């Protein structure tokens, strides 16, 4: 039974970030051991995922991109069913037919993961239109990358959402990379948020590695969307600490830039902040980390022990 994850205190956000980090690092380790198909993971971007999702309501809808595990787990997805999906097992969220790149969890309001870069932008805009036409209260939240922002579909979608006054929050996770290309090579600005004014859309850039700052900015942004039924663009400035996909030796990455961003690791940042302020005790933290590792062990075992889909299910639940 899937339940939307609730966030009432800073420790809830830290636990969610730790779960995402542990899940993705385990996926990468399994991949390296040749036990699993390659996936795009979001190590370094956990604060952006958790900060945004923590500020949403239960009836809000999420559409996301190929780096979606953090968004799904932050919303409450079960790591076992996620892992099973990646392994192509019947118990996965989409019956083993989506892998990591198309995963959706209807019960949690996660409508889809798009592996077409920018694909989620126009689809989310359409979902926002349908929310309004059906008189539904939930707003739409669309995660996309800086690479997607350079595509025409971003500009068409945000323009239409502005003209049609659609209830949608666009969340650009600017992680500085677009597969193997640095964003410096594809845009003439450091701030994607600066483009929104041209479409009459309000926007803000937030430190995407500070989960509390992201949550606060998202709460303000969603209040704006709900109050005005107009779109808003939130840009989370962050960094992809690992490769585009696993495995990736990151030989194309400037080591100095990578090292600088490593010092801003959002998970370590939050841990240090809470330990320093006395909100969290080192022993309690160790206990939480052990429990999360156990949860991941259970997830892996569940996925490995699950059956593959039957041959006669080959054409069910897919377009044929
Ligand atoms: C339309 C399209 N073009 C190219 C690709 C190959 N591709 C997959 S991810 C990616 C980079 C996307 O960069 P960004 O939007 O910044 O997301 P990030 O990977 O950084 O999370 C590319 C070019 C694709 N999947 N779809
Ligand atoms: Mg990117």
Whether residue 67 has its Cβ less than 6 Å from ligand 1: yes
Interval between CA 172 and ligand 2 midpoint (Å)? 9
Is residue 85 within 8 Å of 98, Cβ to Cβ? yes
Whether residue 145 has its Cβ less than 6 Å from ligand 1: yes
Overall pTM > 0.85? yes
With 90 as the cut, is the pLDDT of residue 259 above it?
Answer: yes
Which ligand is the nearest neighbour of the Cα of 67? 1
Above pLDDT 70, what percent of the chain?
A: 99
Count of CB atoms within 10 A of residue 286's CB?
A: 10
With 90 as the cut, is the pLDDT of residue 157 above it?
Answer: yes
Q: Which two tokens stand for residue 184?
A: 């410096």
User: In a 3-state reduction of DSSP, which class is residue 202?
Assistant: strand
Interval between CA 277 and ligand 2 midpoint (Å)? 33
With 80 as the cut, is the pLDDT of residue 293 above it?
Answer: yes
Compute the distance between CA of residue 208 and CA of residue 9 in angstroms, rounded to an integer.
Answer: 19
Mean pLDDT of the chain: 97
Whether residue 116 has its Cβ less than 6 Å from ligand 1: yes
| Widest Cα–Cα separation across the chain | 57
Interval between CA 244 and ligand 1 midpoint (Å)? 9
Residue 320: predicted pLDDT: 66
Interval between CA 64 and ligand 1 midpoint (Å)? 12
Whether residue 148 has its Cβ less than 6 Å from ligand 1: yes
Residue 317: predicted pLDDT: 85
The beta-carbon contacts of 273-282 under 8 Å, at least 24 apart in sequence, are 274/10, 274/11, 274/14, 279/10, 279/11, 280/11, 280/14
Residue 179 falls in which region: left (phi positive, over 0), alpha (psi -120 to 50) or beta: left
Q: How confident is the model at residue 36 (pLDDT cuts 50, 70, 90)?
A: confident
Interval between CA 65 and ligand 2 midpoint (Å)? 11
With 90 as the cut, is the pLDDT of residue 1 above it?
Answer: no
Q: List the residue whose alpha carbon is closest to atom 13 of ligand 1.
A: 178
Mean pLDDT of 153-175: 98
With 80 as the cut, is the pLDDT of residue 248 above it?
Answer: yes
Mutate to test the pocket of ligand 1, among 118, 177, 178 (most ligand atoms within 8 A of CB): 178
Is residue 234 within 8 Å of 220, Cβ to Cβ? no
With 90 as the cut, is the pLDDT of residue 69 above it?
Answer: yes
Mutate to test the pocket of ligand 1, among 24, 147, 173, 177 (most ligand atoms within 8 A of CB): 147
Whether residue 66 has its Cβ less than 6 Å from ligand 1: yes
Q: How confident is the model at residue 38 (pLDDT cuts 50, 70, 90)?
A: confident
Domains in the chain and their CATH numbers? 10-240+251-295 (3.40.50.970)
Interval between CA 284 and ligand 2 midpoint (Å)? 35
Closest CA to 50 of 85, 84, 21, 79: 21
Structure confidence by residue, pLDDT tens digits, 105-114: 999 999 999 9
Residue 137: predicted pLDDT: 95
Whether residue 147 has its Cβ less than 6 Å from ligand 1: yes
Mean pLDDT of 16-24: 98
Q: List the residue whose alpha carbon is closest to atom 23 of ligand 1.
A: 179
Residue 265: predicted pLDDT: 98
Whether residue 175 has its Cβ less than 6 Å from ligand 1: yes
Residue 34: predicted pLDDT: 79
């Amino acid at each position: 039974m899937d339940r939307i994850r609730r966030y009432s205190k800073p420790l809830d956000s830290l636990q969610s970030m730790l779960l995402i980090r542990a899940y993705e690092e385990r996926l990468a380790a399994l991949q390296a051991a040749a036990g699993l198909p390659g996936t795009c993971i979001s190590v370094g971007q956990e604060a952006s995922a958790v900060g945004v999702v923590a500020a949403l309501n239960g009836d809000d809808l999420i559409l996301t991109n190929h780096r979606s595990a953090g968004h799904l787990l932050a919303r409450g997805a079960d790591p076992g069913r996620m892992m099973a999906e990646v392994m192509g097992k019947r118990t996965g969220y989409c019956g083993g037919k989506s892998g990591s790149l198309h995963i959706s969890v209807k019960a949690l309001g996660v409508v889809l993961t798009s592996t077409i870069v920018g694909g989620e932008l126009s689809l989310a805009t359409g979902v926002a239109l349908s929310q309004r036409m059906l008189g539904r209260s939930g707003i739409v939240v669309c995660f996309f990358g800086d690479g997607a922002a350079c595509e025409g579909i971003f500009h068409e979608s945000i323009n239409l959402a502005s003209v049609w006054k659609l209830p949608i929050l666009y969340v650009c996770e600017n992680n500085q990379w677009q597969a193997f290309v640095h964003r410096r090579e594809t845009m003439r600005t450091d701030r994607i948020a600066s483009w929104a004014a041209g479409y009459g859309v309000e926007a803000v850039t937030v430190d995407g590695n500070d989960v509390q700052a992201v949550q606060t900015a998202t709460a303000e942004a969603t209040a704006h969307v709900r109050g005005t039924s107009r779109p808003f663009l939130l840009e989370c400035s962050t960094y992809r600490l690992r490769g585009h996909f696993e495995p990736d030796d990151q030989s194309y990455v400037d080591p100095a830039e990578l090292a600088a961003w490593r010092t801003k690791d959002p998970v370590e940042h939050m841990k240090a902040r809470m330990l320093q302020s006395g909100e969290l005790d080192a022993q309690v933290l160790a206990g939480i980390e052990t429990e999360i590792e156990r949860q991941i062990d259970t997830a892996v075992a569940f996925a490995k022990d699950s059956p593959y889909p039957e041959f006669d299910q080959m054409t069910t639940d897919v377009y044929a």
